Amino acid sequence: MRVTGVRARAHRLPLHRAWDGGVDRNDIVVVEVDTDTGITGTGFSWTPFIGARAVLALVEDDLRPALVGGPAHPSRWDDLLWHLREAGTGGLTLMALAAIDIALWDLTAKATGLPLVDLLGRRRDRVPAYGSGVNLDYPLSDLSDQVKGWSAAGHRAAKIKVGSPDPARDVERVRTVRDLLGAEGTLMIDANQRWDVPGAARALDALTAFDLHFVEEPLPAGDLAAHTRLRARTDVPFALGENLRTIEEFERFIDAGVCDIAQPNVVRVGGITPFLRIAETAARRGVPVAPHLLPELSGQLALCLSRPAMVEDIDRASFAALGALAAPSGVRVERGALSADTGLGHGLVFADTLTPLP
């Protein structure tokens, strides 16, 4: 197959309830790659708040000319990253490349006559999922209702935000959620980089009594030395990776012993191709992968990994919940587990009626 055209469009998806910090929408860039066989592959980039127009420009101005006329295959990833090198090899560059890479994998699966999961190699039919909310600003009653909703939906694992200015507030909230989940439930916390080393050590000392499965991003994401110092002061496992971008970054944090659960985001790392490389390098080091957000795609990838942990079922912020899809994708989260029956490709068909970026 050869690429004959690349089309891209950017859309705004209003959230049902704003996330901490006033994030009230997710923006997406939907990319369609056409081929001389008549098969079209669909990819996407995603950002909660910043950068969608820049991603769109990189796709239209820089990636489209490099793609048209060339082979329609995800093996293009390294060449395309090299093509973009003058714009950098992380951040927005990878987010734009992700949309193309996802589309090329979708194309390849469709051309092979397979769902993406089976093209990659399905290892299981279900993978555990956990309820997740961006909820530090929720009053305790709202947080309790959210966790009760997850439990009613069959989740036995939940993650909540911590990092309140008053540490006693975090203790009260974590205690409440532990009581709601019961002793057998799995409880995780996410500080979203809000702590420094002494503050994190004090907070984790106070919260350890609630049997934490992991703490996510306790410190600024790229500060390896700080994570190493904190590791010496707590036994709570660290989940890291939503803000790491490259295979080399993941390797450094894993090899330093501070990444116990890896959390690559399939868009932020540059697509399915590097996501699988990160998962493989983590597996070789005995580290499981719990993909960050985007369950309709990252859940499919988790079904293929040798060491999956859990898939994040973000509260009312999947593509389906935000009304982004023209039809059900075939990815379902039921009774605390994710499954996928997508038909050919990844099964994501974005609606034509989505709101354009203003």
Q: Which residues are catalytic?
A: 161, 292
Collapsed DSSP state (helix, strand, coil) of residue 13: strand
Contact residues for 101 (Cβ-Cβ < 8 A; gap 6+): 43, 74, 77, 80, 270, 271, 272, 273, 274
> Residue 103 has which token pair?
């589309």
Q: How many residues does the chain have?
A: 358
Give 332's strand partners: 339
CA 265 to chain centre: 4
Distance, in Å, from the CA atom of 315 to the CA atom of 220, rounded to the nearest integer, reads 24
Question: Who contacts 352 (Cβ-Cβ below 8 Å, separation ≥6)?
Answer: 326
Shortest CA distance to 278 belongs to which of 299, 310, 248?
A: 248
Helix intervals (H) in 182-271: 197-207, 224-231, 247-255
Report the distance separating Cα 67 and Cα 82, nearest Å: 13
* Sheet containing 40-47, strands listed edge to edge, beginning at the edge strand earlier in sequence: 40-47, 23-35, 3-19, 355-356
